[in-house]
Amino acid sequence: MLESSKEVLEAEQRFLTGENFYVQHFLGVHKNENGYVFRVWAPHAQQVYLVGDFNDWDESLPMEKREKSGVWELATSLAEEGQLYKFLVQQANGRKIMKIDPFAVRFEERPGTAAVIYTIPEKKWHDNLWRGRQKKTQTLKRPMNIYEVHASSWKHDESGQPYTFKELEEELIPYVKEMDYTHIEFLPLMEHPLGASWGYQLTGFFALSSYYGTPVEFRDFVDSCHKNNIGVFVDWVPAHFCVNEDTLPYYDGTPTFEYEDPNRAHNIRWGTICFDLGKPQVQSFLISSALFWLDVYHLDGMRVDAVTSMLYLDYDEGPWQPNHEGGNRNFEGFYFLQKLNAVIKLAFPQTVMMAEESSSETQITGMIESGALGFDYKWNMGWMNDVLRFYEMDPVFRKDNFHLLTFSFMYMMNEHYILPFSHDEVVHGKKSLMHKMWGDRYKQFAQLRNMYTFMMTHPGKKILFMGSEWGQFLEWKYNEGLEWVDLEDELNNKMQHFTAKLNSLYKDERSLWELEDTAETVELIDADNTAESVLTFIRKSKTKRDFLIIALNLTPVERQDFAIGVPYPGSYQEVLNTEKIEFGGTWTKNNSRCQSIDQPFKQFNQQIQTVLPALGALIIKPEEIQMK
């Protein structure tokens, strides 16, 4: 709440220049000593009325315009906490239309769209220890294994209703802890009118969707996550917004939040409206939204959705105009994203900023001063597409397509990557991860274990969509709970156990994340064995004795006496065999300890020999080695 007219004037000026990053304290609804003050930005409106439960939704409360900024305001003693309200906007052409408050922090439940007069109460947080630890070390130097969740379809109660955050606190947090994930990432939690959009077509950029519970419940959830050493990320969508007429589009009858050019304003592919990312007021709006979520809810980071669409003028399906240099770069989007990351890192240096971005023409991660966008991580969509294509393939053809697995080692240091098996890959007829795998059901589980092992041992942070941890066969349905009944099946149950075991190994083995930002983190042993379709490589830590050898057999043929080059003489022991019976395979015990022999293998002077299970993966660790 702004206390004085001077503060209001300063907030107004910063809003106009794109430098008010807490603009929700100026716009929206705020309690004062005589009631509430309402403000809304509609610069070209002829008139704006405040309407709501307090005046029977009539035109008895006209607002006054602040000419400098085009902000309309009204102070009233009639309004009370919990009442519904909207703004009746007489647009530039004289048409009157009900509009939502873009800065509301609470909305009524669907299908209603009115804002609620709501003051988020103060909270005493209990996560100082967690937040202190995050400030001490960079995320690049820590394990990050993310469980991606759609809040309203993780689990439903007996009546078929989705869990609220109060219920998720009781069940999701213990589950994530038991499965040994380090973070939870939610699909967008902001207010949206249509569940089928999964939250990616927003209307309330400052409001937790009432469908998921209350702000109090969500803050308690985050607090509880932190007390259990679990980080919380949320997807956020600054590229575009919902097309519904009573929300943000053409708010005052003219392009307000969107681009002037209708070809740039309308996203044909998604049926949405694109923000004018070069407009100062829009920059204040969006950056304030991001900081609001980080500040009020103590989030550990955000995944920025649809970054590619903000970077390139020709991304959509409609006509487009080149920029002033004759190219396809969207300079407004590029500089907005740099500004967003700079402001967030200044306010909350420990925040993890992630980009969902699918091109290779722009440096996404790294220092802004070097020309990058300033994100901490980029989703590696190329790795994901190549890997899924490979594992869907009949093994007969894998020897001719081995580059799909090995190519990523050529560019793995170009960005700081997250390896995603996300919600986008298990819907719209793409099949679940389990269903994508080649072969019969037994082979599908074997390959799923193999693929997860590759993900967990390949450089990059990890993300896996809910239900994939036990190999749910059906595609994800946004309006139903996961198929928890699957866990009554022995193979699904063992698959879940395997994922938990793999997650635990990832957290415990420093070689899988300690040097991840350097090329020294990985050394290929043999990436050319296309004939047998076996990939072997080493992951390293700062301590030379501490490394892991990974062997992936990508065919349904067991490899006896298989040679693997090793850097030092000594003994080596399996720490993971994906074909163990406890994981759903047939092996009752691990391979015996291997003793190296003095026989060259590529760049190595020593080698070990072991048995590679059909469609299996091994992780091998040095036990007693001799180092010069």
Which are the catalytic amino acids? 305, 356
Contacts of residue 343, Cβ cutoff 8 Å, sequence gap at least 6: 21, 287, 291
SS3 514: coil
Q: How many C-beta atoms surround the C-beta of residue 552 within 10 A?
A: 22
The Cα–Cα gap between 270 and 242 comes to 10
The Cα–Cα gap between 299 and 501 comes to 27
With tokens 């890959």, the residue in question is 425
With tokens 């990557």, the residue in question is 417
The Cα–Cα gap between 306 and 312 comes to 11
**Distance of alpha carbon 543 from the chain centroid:** 32
Token pair of 411 as six digits:
């560019």
Token pair of 275 as six digits:
């923000």
> Taking a C-beta distance cutoff of 8 angstroms, is the pair 366, 372 a contact?
yes
Token pair of 280 as six digits:
């100062």
Local structure of residue 122 (DSSP, 8 states): P
SS (H, E, C) 451-503: HHHHHHHCCCEEEEECCHHHCCCCCCCCCCCCCHHHHHCHHHHHHHHHHHHHH
**Angle formed by the axes of helices 215-227 and 165-179, to 10°?**
20
Token pair of 525 as six digits:
């042993």
Token pair of 40 as six digits:
């809304």
The Cα–Cα gap between 276 and 262 comes to 11
> Taking a C-beta distance cutoff of 8 angstroms, is the pair 341, 353 a contact?
yes
CA nearest 308: which of 323, 327, 330?
330
The Cα–Cα gap between 525 and 566 comes to 8
Contacts of residue 623, Cβ cutoff 8 Å, sequence gap at least 6: 570, 571, 572, 573, 593
Token pair of 108 as six digits:
């009524």
